[in-house]
Structure 1
């Protein structure tokens, strides 16, 4: 794709983020767009956030579990960049008016103590490089109208990153079976879904290793201190004013988040 078009689409998605208004699917307007083009558009969108004063604080893996793949009609993983403007802590209330068409997903976050760069990274390498894991929520939010996306659309849109919430309970991944640990997701005090780490590429650590190797081929390392979101273990959760979500990981603990206001969509 022409570099000027890549820049223009990245700027368009950044403006959609700021204005909280969606744009038509890129693939409808550019039928020949490739995944490589889409990642270049993502880079431009993220660069605009960095220029505005945000910093990169981690990475996320998207579209790893079957429920999310089925909902989106996207059947391969992707990745996005986490920035300082996306961070919430457990107990915070997220204002839905700051988002467009948000949905929540529960997952496990890895916080690294060592740098990690592929290729050749294994799940065991990930465990060794991890300081701790925490339960978390990612609030995904597409800038594409009505979530009408294919893989190129969500990649260009920074893997549909919205914001994320980290739990306070830290666990040692060397002492916790993250593949077999069950996750229970409650919405407003009622069971919404259950999951298990193995739903994410066999183990969340496998997903993180995949991303380390994928980014390693691009010359992008994981840095000590970064947060890596390993991919949803739940179905996507619709959210509205006054909703409260709690996800609990067996042997680890819980993450709780509430919402106020009304989302744009």
Structure 2
């Protein structure tokens, strides 16, 4: 983020950033959740994003490829669930994508939860100072129903904002539906979402529950990504944020979400020990 938003005093030392990143990397590698990293870091977004950038650089060096971004904590109910009051962003890697109607090996995740969202695929870059509603809307090539499988490397989801930001906005996997549609004049504020677990509704909401409008969430993300020095580009997939409360994943269950005008999206989880 820009220096005028976050004081220089909030930027931790390189050794502190590396220690926090190493703690999260160890949890991801071993599958054993770790203690929160807030005991190592200043309670600032600057500190959290500094750790996230170290982890992202390491992932790229290991051959992973970025395919987009996610916006987290856009829904007031999800903010309340985690005790935070502002959105955050994370990176989507190619190996996080799961095919619609595909299966996720639950043993590869630590403490997964799931939520339904509107995904946006950009047809143009979103950089520079002009992030007017007209430009933001024009940048979107298509929209699609999606499921985000969030996960935390931090034990018991005991997180503050700095913890989840450092942990790549608690990212895990994502699923895009098979019915992408052009945005055109579609009013994303009005879409209705229902998410089912084995046929039983477990979450519901509307487009307006995502920062008032998924396009407003995209505008927030474009500004934040630009300020972090990694603006959104054509072809990026953007998960715009939860339309309803997230729920814990039950191993062996199938989750599906229906979003009006965008169709459905489905994913199944293996039982523990069967992956």
The two structures have a TM-score, normalised by structure 2, of 0.91
Structure 2 CA distance, aligned partners of 1:183 and 1:126?
23
> Shift in Å at residue 262 of structure 1?
2.1
> Shift in Å at residue 31 of structure 1?
6.2
- Identify which of 12, 15, 23 aligns with 1:4: 15
SS in 2 for 1:258: strand
| Structure-to-structure mapping, 1:133-152, within 5 angstroms | 133-152=143-162
2:206 corresponding residue in structure 1: 196
SS in 2 for 1:165: strand
1:128 corresponding residue in structure 2: 138
| Structure-to-structure mapping, 1:161-240, within 5 angstroms | 161-240=171-250
> Shift in Å at residue 236 of structure 1?
0.9
The question of whether the paired residues in 1 share the 8 Å contact of 2:16 and 2:41 is answered with no
2:106 corresponding residue in structure 1: 96
> Shift in Å at residue 153 of structure 1?
0.3
Structure 1 CA distance, aligned partners of 2:29 and 2:143?
31
SS in 2 for 1:192: strand
Structure 1 CA distance, aligned partners of 2:236 and 2:41?
35
Structure 1 CA distance, aligned partners of 2:233 and 2:147?
22
Structure 2 CA distance, aligned partners of 1:85 and 1:238?
22
Please say if 1:21 is aligned against 2:32. Answer: yes
> Shift in Å at residue 51 of structure 1?
1.6
The question of whether the paired residues in 2 share the 8 Å contact of 1:14 and 1:48 is answered with no
The two structures have a TM-score, normalised by structure 1, of 0.95
Unaligned runs of 5+ in 1: none
> Shift in Å at residue 221 of structure 1?
1.3
1:154 corresponding residue in structure 2: 164
The question of whether the paired residues in 1 share the 8 Å contact of 2:16 and 2:40 is answered with no
> Shift in Å at residue 57 of structure 1?
0.8
> Shift in Å at residue 118 of structure 1?
4.1
